Amino acid sequence: MIWKLRFSQIFLFFSVLIISPIVYGEDDLYYGDFNGSWEGTLYLIGLDLPGFPYTLSTKEIDKNGGESKIVVSGQNVEVYYKWKGKWKEVKPGQFKINKHKTNAIIFAINSSSDVYDKTGSGGWVETWNFTLTYKDKNSVYVYVTRAVNNYMKKYDEEISRFFISSFGDFQKVS
């Protein structure tokens, strides 16, 4: 009789072990994926770096922050900032995402199309990086860095090379 009880316990244990990943899936164990629309406010982080030609200092930042939105659908990502009351997409079609459990990196890197652009906008490279980690099932912390290199300018010219950093708490809205 005891062997039947032990067999039942072992059978139940292995059944749960085998069925659990099928029922819940790995993503569910880590709050799900990042699909959906996430909105929040990004607060600029001042970078007072001695000897660096230009960074956004703590004296220059807007303490009120800026409304932002990230929309994820599979591998497609759209990033928006609210400007004069309307959502404006940043770098349409440029952002990519890499996800792992509770964390994700959303990034874009691009440059001017022509170094010798006659409009004066040639010779720049720009990188945006959004690092996301789940706070709970319906909110994520977002840390953003942006780097710009206007390599046609001398390194010590104002805004020839600069970094901007910000942080926020985003809520899932859909």
Kindly report, residue by residue over 69-82, the tens digit of the pLDDT. 999 999 999 999 98
CB atoms within 10 A of CB 71: 19
| pTM given for the model | 0.76
| Secondary structure (3-state) at 96 | strand
For residue 107 the two structure tokens come to: 């990034």
Which pLDDT score is estimated for 158? 75
Least confident among 11-20, 85-94, 129-138, 165-174: 11-20
**What's the confidence (pLDDT) of residue 23?**
45
The yes-or-no verdict on residue 167 having pLDDT over 80 is yes
Q: What angle do CA 84, 89, 140 make, to 5 degrees?
A: 95
| Among 171, 133, 129, CA closest to 41 | 171
pLDDT, position 121: 61
Average pLDDT over residues 19-28: 48
Q: Which residue has the higher pLDDT, 164 or 158?
A: 164
* Higher pLDDT among residues 99 and 116, named by residue: 99
Residue 62 has a pLDDT of: 56
Instruction: Give pLDDT, residue 79.
Output: 97
* Mean of pLDDT values over 41-56: 70
